[in-house]
Structure 1
């Protein structure tokens, strides 16, 4: 029987390790070596490892690791974003990089809608009022925001952004979007979306602005002081992309000064935020712990895609999820 190729993973279990329930999916195709074991016995594993499987950005793929794995063929990373990987460095070693796009579209879009609804309807604040010991009666003059027929601006109309638009269309929201490339006319018609060539046009008219872009040098701090000033004072910012897409200092100031009304964030920088950070204490902010695609069904699919991508690279087959610098810039 042919020996399975070797795969390097960071560690198993805990809050950042590879999940134990999914180990069997990998072990059907690979002999798994965890990083601590690799460090102790480099001479036994260095020449055998053909895959580095990156889970929650671990292990860190740097020059030293690449130099220590002469037969490495692929770095396969769970999730869509690859901002934690130096693609140019990895490519210089003749190693391919893959990710797992589209798998998490639906749960991440669900999360975006949940954050928008929670912010608009004051779900978190309302729950705190109901459970507070000092609450004797409710203020029935407190008003919440409409979602139905409100304007949603989607920044980044890729697969996740379009999944958000499909959901928002059911709420009869007016959808405007900004993207590197305009989507096909029939796709726009399906969700009644209007393209904004300039992000400023989107920001000025949106009641809710949802960020669904990948993190690149071009999208780093895409939303800063100037962009926040373009938004309505009644608008809410929702981020389901990456924390670094927003200038958080500028966001804090905008929320404190009433430049915008509220924010709902599934991602921040860093994660978690330092204890006592203003975003954690402001009443007009919701922060969740990066759980956009954290469902068992989705994570299982992610691992299956990681494995299938890696097997394809090792066998010299076509790899639809291969990531290159050129592909990211398209």
Structure 2
């Protein structure tokens, strides 16, 4: 096994990329890093053999680090020669309107950071799961000795993971020592290595009813928005734990609060919320069976080297065999 430095993460998708057909590959050329280059991303482009240059008529690729989708739309409209755009986040729902304009076009090729942050996010999902099962948030808030002693064990539990991307795959690996029974819920059919079974989204209610732990790791689309509402929450076991490390919009926050207030669910761990940021004073902040971790599953310090590695790989793909990672289907918007 390859040794790691303390806190070092790896991109689990780097070794599994397949080359695009020649006719779909973007052409190599100057790469603009917008809105402003950072030292890490600029080094990543150059290390891979790419040329960093200001945005111009000959720009062939854009590494987009931040900024409104409308600004990126303007960049592409003014520079139609751009054939590849690298986005910085795993979730790309903020660009849904822009993707609609390019759904039937070959260029630009869109890539995101999906999968790149799988290790830190899956680690956080496991931490939230264990913390909620053991009721650590409530115990941490307590100012007196708690009786009776309460806590549930993860060993042998039935775990449902909604989503089948890199986070799900890494979480399956982290769960191995606990000998859990894992069900993956995904949009399209297809087995996921390490899971006991894989089902499609139309069976979500069935899976929720039998699961002890439910982890949301799915992309936000029109279909998945508020996929966990009052009906789905009611279907879950009263002793179930719900963890969301994907996007806040996957859960109906009002329905979740009502469910917790009624005494349903053992605990809820939220790294993401709707709205986000969660307003000061919102009841979820201090609910005894909920913890909110302020979208910290992947910190800036963790993200920067992983994004740089993704950029480095994709620049090499641009200049070489076309094995891009994190390709986004603008029609599907993920």
| In structure 2, distance between residues paired with 1:24 and 1:166 | 32
* Contact preservation (8 Å) 1:8, 1:49: no
| Aligned-pair CA distance for 1:320 | 4.5
Q: How does 1:4-153 map to 2 (within 5 A)?
A: 5-11=30-36, 21-26=40-45, 29-31=50-52, 33=54, 45-55=55-65, 60-85=70-95, 86-90=98-102, 92=105, 94-129=107-142, 135=143, 137-153=144-160
Decide whether aligned partners of structure 1 residues 314 and 178 sit closer, same or farther in structure 2, where only a CA change above 3 A counts: same
- Among 164, 168, 178, the residue aligned to 1:161: 168
Partner of 2:25: none
Q: Tell me the secondary structure at the aligned position of residue 241 of structure 1.
A: coil
Shift of 1:58: 5.1
Question: CA distance change for structure 1 residues 317 and 207 in 2, over 3 Å: closer, same or farther?
Answer: closer
SS at match of 1:154: strand
- CA-based RMSD of the aligned residues comes to 2.9
- Counterpart-to-counterpart distance in 2, 1:311 and 1:324: 21
Query: 3-state DSSP class of the match of 1:110?
Result: helix
The answer to whether 1:205 aligns with 2:210 is yes
With the length of structure 1 as denominator, give the TM-score of the two structures.
Answer: 0.78
Say whether the 8 Å CA contact 2:310–2:325 is kept in structure 1.
Answer: no
Rounded to whole Å, the distance in 1 between the matches of 2:67 and 2:228 is: 24
In the alignment, structure 1 segments of 5+ residues that lack a partner are 13-17, 34-44, 130-134
Is the Cα contact below 8 Å between 1:74 and 1:310 reproduced in 2? Answer: no
Give the TM-score normalised by structure 2. Answer: 0.77
State how far apart, in whole Å, the 2-side matches of 1:259 and 1:247 are: 15
Q: Classify 1:68/1:270 alpha carbon distance in 2 versus 1 (closer, same or farther; 3 Å).
A: farther
Kindly report which structure 2 residues correspond to 1:234-253, keeping only aligned pairs within 5 A, or say none.
234-253=239-258
Match of 1:302 among 299, 307, 311: 307
The aligned counterpart of 2:230 is 225
What residue is the counterpart of 1:15 in the other structure? Answer: none
Structure 2 gap ranges (5+): 1-28
Going from structure 1 to structure 2, the CA distance change for 1:118 and 1:167 (only over 3 Å counts) comes to: same
How far 1:57 moved relative to its partner?
Answer: 5.7
Separation in structure 2 between the aligned mates of residue 128 and residue 57 of structure 1, nearest angstrom: 38
Structure 1 CA distance for aligned equivalents of residues 188 and 252 of structure 2: 24
In structure 1, the residue matched to 2:296 is 291
Q: 1:310 to 1:111 in 2, by over 3 A?
A: same
For the 8 Å contact 2:40–2:308, the answer to whether it is kept is no
CA drift of 1:232 comes to 1.2
Q: Distance in 1 between matches of 2:115 and 2:300?
A: 14
Tell me by how many angstroms 1:210 deviates.
Answer: 0.6
Aligned counterpart, 1:42: none
